[in-house]
Every structure is written in structure tokens, then in C-alpha cells.
Amino acid sequence: MVSKLMSIRTTFFLLIFLFPLFTFAQSIIPPLQFQARQANAETGSAFMQRMIPLPLEEREEEIYQAFAAGNMPDFLRETIRLKGTFTDSLGQSHELIYEVMPDYLAIGSNEDFCRIPMNPNTAQRLANLFGGSMITSKISDHIYENASVKLAPFFYKPVGRENESIEKFILHNEQIEKQKSEAMGQNGQLIAGIKKDVILSNRITNSPNKVVIYGWHQLNGIPIQPVYSGHVDWYVDYSHGIRLMNQQVILDGEVVSVSKILSDPILYTLLSNENSPMLQTEYINSGK
């Protein structure tokens, strides 16, 4: 009897000890994969100045190569974990945990960096390289709701094609940093309201060779930019931003890919506001 009681107690204590470890194990997803930044890597300001005279196609390749070589601030490498309860297409609730970059892709160091817009094909190549995914409009909204630093969108009146220029990218980045400083924001905090997101959408299939954008949330939470696919995919202006999420998420305690959820006829509404699953969960012109 004593032996049996001791066995029960041992089992009980083992369960108490192992349960948190089991739960933790269920919550592990592989982190985004980045190369280390080299000591002699260009600063953000030097890189941007070098981009000014380049034609679009060459510029996009330089952007890809810089990120592939690890030329990005350290604070972008530390993702933010967010959790929410989302409903599938049958009305069932699910717990979803996902990790997202705290800010938009930027080139340079912690001390000298510049957020850099790029076309969706370059962004998709980087997402695939890092083990990430582009976000959706639904995730863009959820990020805004949970952001630690919410800044008012700052926009420039169109004058010719100035808004597509590297000079305007630099100017807008400086404006964001000014607003962030005034709001006492810090690098590494989840920031929102500063850019339109380049997103995944069914419009990628329905409108090939287009970029789909959404967001630029105002302080009242309402985005300036509804889902829009009117620009060709090579079009880029200062307001566009690339914020990646981890391709792996935790759905009801199990690790699942963003692509699998978005293409599932029942689960897709966990990540999407659209009325059908996605046939295509990335920009198809991404391969080089």
C-alpha cells in the first residue's frame, strides 16, 4: 500500500514537472534565419546613397543581396510574439501564436539604418530565404492593435515621380525616426502606422504581376489604404513597407505553416479577411 502510494505521488510530481516542459516544447518554432552582419558592411545611409543612380532592376538585386548577406539592424532580428483567438470558416475558435518583425525591413546597423521599400518579388525572395512569410491584411490589423508604438502616417503630395525616388525613401525614414523619438519609441518595439504593408491576398492570383498593398493605419485604427492591387509589381514608393512574419505559427499548440493555413478551406479565415482560401500563398515571380 505504501509502495503504491509512493508510486502515485512520484507519477503526480513527474507530471507537474514535465507538463510545463511539454507545453514549452509545443511552443517552439524555428526562428527566422539571418546571416550575421559583417563588420565592414555598408551603413544604411551609404547604401541608400549608392542606390540613387541605379535602375530599378539593378536596385532590387542590390537590396536582395544586402539582406541576404545580413546587412540589417540587430533589433529587426528579434521577432515579437503575438497571440490571438481567431475563428475558422465554420465558426470554431482557435488560439494562434505567431512571430513578426518589430519593424519594416531596413538596411544598415542599429545606429545607421534606413527602411527600404522594395517590390513584392524581392520581398518574397527574402521571405523564402529567411523562412518567413508576407503578412495579410488581417494580420496587419492585428499587429496594429498590439503595437507598442503607434505613429500617425506621414505622407507627401505627389510631384511627378518623386515619391518613387530613393531620396524620398530617405526623407520618409528620417520623418519616421523623428516621430518615433518624439513618442519615446525605441528600436525593437512593435511599431505600426508608418507604412503600407505589401501583403498576401487572393488578388495575387486574380491580378498577376501586381503588388497588393494595405494599411497605413491612422491613430483611430482605420487604415488609409484599403486592399489595393492597382499598381504593377515593379512599382515602389516611399509609403510601401515589408514586414515579415515567421512562416511557422502555433495553432492550438501545434506548429503549422502560414501557407497551409491560408490554403485550407476551413482554417484560412484565421489569417485572412477574404472570402476564400488562397490558391497562391506567395508572389509567383519570386524565383531567381
Mean pLDDT confidence for 221-239:
97
Please report whether residue 286 resides in a domain.
no
Which structural domain range is residue 114 located in? 31-281
Please report whether residue 144 resides in a domain.
yes
User: How does residue 10 score in pLDDT terms, banded at 50, 70 and 90?
Assistant: very low
Farthest CA pair distance, the chain: 88
Please report whether residue 230 resides in a domain.
yes
Mapped onto helix, strand or coil, the DSSP state of residue 171 is helix
Please report whether residue 5 resides in a domain.
no
**Least confident piece of the model among 25-29, 220-224, 229-233, 279-283:** 25-29
Tens of pLDDT, residues 72-84: 999 999 999 999 9
Q: Is the pLDDT of residue 5 over 50?
A: no
Residue type, 55: P
Q: Is the pLDDT of residue 60 over 60?
A: yes
Q: Quick one: what percent of the chain has pLDDT higher than 90? A: 88
Give pLDDT, residue 27: 63
Give pLDDT, residue 284: 82
Give pLDDT, residue 65: 98
Mean pLDDT confidence for 157-175:
97
Question: What global pTM score does this model have?
Answer: 0.89
Give pLDDT, residue 30: 94
**Taking the CB of residue 159, how many other CB atoms lie within 10 A of it?**
8
Give pLDDT, residue 180: 98
Query: What is the average pLDDT score of the chain?
Result: 92
Q: How many whole angstroms separate alpha carbon 240 and alpha carbon 49?
A: 19
User: How does residue 26 score in pLDDT terms, banded at 50, 70 and 90?
Assistant: very low
Give pLDDT, residue 49: 98
Number of domains in the chain: 1
Please report whether residue 136 resides in a domain.
yes
Please report whether residue 22 resides in a domain.
no
Q: How many whole angstroms separate alpha carbon 35 and alpha carbon 170?
A: 25
Q: Quick one: what percent of the chain has pLDDT higher than 70? A: 89
User: How does residue 28 score in pLDDT terms, banded at 50, 70 and 90?
Assistant: confident
Please report whether residue 19 resides in a domain.
no
How does DSSP classify residue 74? G
Torsion, Cα of 237, 239, 120, 288 (10° steps): 60
Please report whether residue 12 resides in a domain.
no
- By CB atoms closer than 10 A (0-12, 13-18, 19+), residue 30 is exposed
Tens of pLDDT, residues 82-127: 999 999 999 999 999 999 999 999 999 999 999 999 999 999 999 9
Give pLDDT, residue 9: 53
Strand ranges in 135-280 using DSSP code E only, listed in sequence order: 149-150, 191-192, 196-198, 210-217, 223-232, 240-241, 245-246, 248-251, 254-257
Give pLDDT, residue 126: 98
Mean pLDDT confidence for 226-236:
97
